[in-house]
Structure 1
Amino acid sequence: MGTPRDSREEQVDAVLDRLYEEYPDSTISLDFSNRLELLVAVVLSAQCTDERVNQVTSELFEKYRTPEDYAAAAEEQLAEDIYGITFHNNKAGYLQSIGETLVREHDGEVPDTMTELTELSGVGRKTANVVLQHGHDVVEGIVVDTHVRRLSRRLGLTEEERPETIEQDLMTVVPEGDWQQFTHLLISHGRAVCDARNPSCEECTLEDLCPSSKLDNGVDLASGELWG
Structure 2
Amino acid sequence: MTKQERADYIVQRLEELYPETPIPLDHTDPYTLLVAVLLSAQCTDLRVNQVTPALFELANTPEAMMQVPVEDIQAIIRPCGLSPRKSQAISDLSKILVEQHGGEVPQDFDALEALPGVGHKTASVVMAQAFGVPAFPVDTHIHRLAKRWRLCPGKNVVETERYCKRLFAKEKWNKLHLQIIFYGREHCSARGCDGKTCEICTTVNSK
Under TM normalisation by the shorter chain, which class is it? over 0.9
Contact 1:149 1:161 in 2 (8 A): no
Q: What is the aligned-residue identity percentage?
A: 35
**Pick from 12, 15, 20: which aligns with 1:20?**
15
Distance 1:209 1:67 in 2: 47
TM-score calculated relative to the size of structure 2: 0.93
1:77 equivalent to 2:72? Answer: yes
Q: CA deviation at 1:200?
A: 7.6
RMSD between aligned residues: 1.9
TM-score calculated relative to the size of structure 1: 0.85
**Pick from 144, 147, 155: which aligns with 2:149?**
155
Q: Which runs of 5+ in 1 are unaligned?
A: 1-5, 217-228
Q: Which runs of 4+ in 1 moved over 4 A?
A: 200-203
State which drifts further: 22-31 or 95-104: 22-31
Distance 1:73 1:164 in 2: 35
Distance 1:164 1:142 in 2: 11
Residue matched to 2:124: 129
Q: CA deviation at 1:95?
A: 0.2
Q: Which has the higher helix share?
A: 2
Contact 1:111 1:117 in 2 (8 A): yes
1:191 equivalent to 2:164? Answer: no
**Pick from 76, 89, 111: which aligns with 1:116?**
111
User: Residue 50 of structure 2 aligns to which amino acid in structure 1?
Assistant: Q
**Pick from 144, 161, 164: which aligns with 1:167?**
161
- Give the count of matched residue pairs: 207
1:178 equivalent to 2:184? Answer: no
Q: CA deviation at 1:24?
A: 1.8
Residue matched to 1:205: 199
